[in-house]
Amino acid sequence: MIRTQIQLEPAQFKVLRGEAAKRNISVAGLVREALAKYLNSPRKSAFRNLSRLRPAFRPIPQEGISDHDRWYAEAIMDSKRRNG
């Protein structure tokens, strides 16, 4: 297995932890299970097709997002400005 790290909202983690406890599995196991279901769903092909689309510019709301998300959005917008 490959170790990775994700950031969750506190409410998301609380729900995940509760569901994992009910099923007597780890939060990581629950996330892996959900990801496996998602990747085997019809949405998987739709997700792959998104890479072919040119993303439209949408303003990023500044309230309620983490600094990481804001920095990422700013980096994308800077890249678009430089590359046209």
* pTM for the model: 0.49
Task: Render pLDDT for 54-71 as a digit per residue (tens, 0 to 9).
Answer: 555 555 555 655 666 667
Looking at residue 41, its pLDDT comes to 75
If you average pLDDT over residues 19-47, what whole number do you get? 84
Whether 52 and 59 have beta carbons less than 8 Å apart is answered as: no
Model confidence at 19: pLDDT above 60: yes
**Residue 58 has what pLDDT?**
57
Closest CA to 55 of 13, 83, 27, 28: 83
The domain locations on the chain are 8-53, 55-84
